[in-house]
């Protein structure tokens, strides 16, 4: 629902609010997993539902906000006017890569995969796009805003890569494992 709210905010021209809502979802994504583990309420159904929510919040919403920003800030995104197909391709790839990354994570989780992540987590990719939107708008950094589609392309490729990233293992302190 918050991912949908971010796209509504962007459609209304409130791009900073849209970026903050995506960033808020990073925190909420961490909290929902933590509470599920603390309460012993994890399940395969919950894993699938979490991935669907992550696809909306960290795949569709960031791409949608960037697209709406590009349409609202025509002067900033002027270089993309001749290459609109490339803009759409970068954003579409980001969404498709997010779905592939989440599916790969679920398959590896089902088989008790290695203590590694393979590919950039969607939370990191989508959350970083949200932060880049905020930084670009806050500091009137048009160059950063203009390159958002390239960041979506880069993060999309990193999501479907086999880039090994170690999972954080259990720590001695019970509080640190939350």
The 3-class SS string of the chain reads: CHHHHHHHHHHCCCHHHHHHHHHHHHHHHHHHHHHHHHCCCCCHHHHHHHHHHHHHHHHHHHHHHHHHHHHHCCCCCHHHHHHHHHHHHHHHHHHHHHHHHHHHHHHHHHCCCCCEEECCCHHHHHHHHHHHHHHHHHCCCHHHHHCHHHHHHHHHHHHHCCCEEECCCCCCCCHHHC
- pLDDT score at 175: 56
Low-confidence residues in the chain, pLDDT < 70: 109-115, 169-178
Q: What is the pLDDT of residue 107?
A: 81
Question: For residue 95, what pLDDT is reported?
Answer: 98
Nearest to 168 by CA among 115, 105, 107: 115
Predicted pLDDT of residue 35: 86
- Confidence (pTM): 0.88
């Amino acid at each position: 629902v918050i991912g949908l709210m971010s796209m509504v905010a962007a459609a209304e021209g409130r791009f900073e609010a849209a970026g903050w809502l995506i960033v808020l979802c990073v925190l909420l994504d961490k909290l929902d997993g933590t509470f599920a583990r603390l309460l012993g309420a994890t399940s395969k159904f919950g894993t699938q539902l979490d991935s669907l929510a992550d696809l909306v919040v960290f795949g569709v919403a960031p791409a949608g906000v960037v697209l709406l920003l590009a349409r609202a800030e025509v002067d900033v995104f002027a270089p993309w006017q001749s290459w609109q197909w490339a803009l759409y391709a970068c954003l579409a790839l980001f969404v498709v890569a997010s779905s592939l990354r989440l599916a790969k994570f679920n398959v590896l989780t089902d088989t008790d995969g290695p203590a590694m992540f393979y590919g950039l987590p969607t939370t990191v990719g989508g959350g970083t796009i949200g932060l880049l939107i905020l930084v670009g708008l806050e500091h009137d950094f048009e160059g950063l805003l203009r390159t958002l589609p390239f960041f979506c392309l880069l993060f999309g490729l990193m999501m479907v890569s086999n880039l090994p990233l170690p999972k954080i293992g259990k720590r001695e302190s019970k509080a640190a494992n939350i």
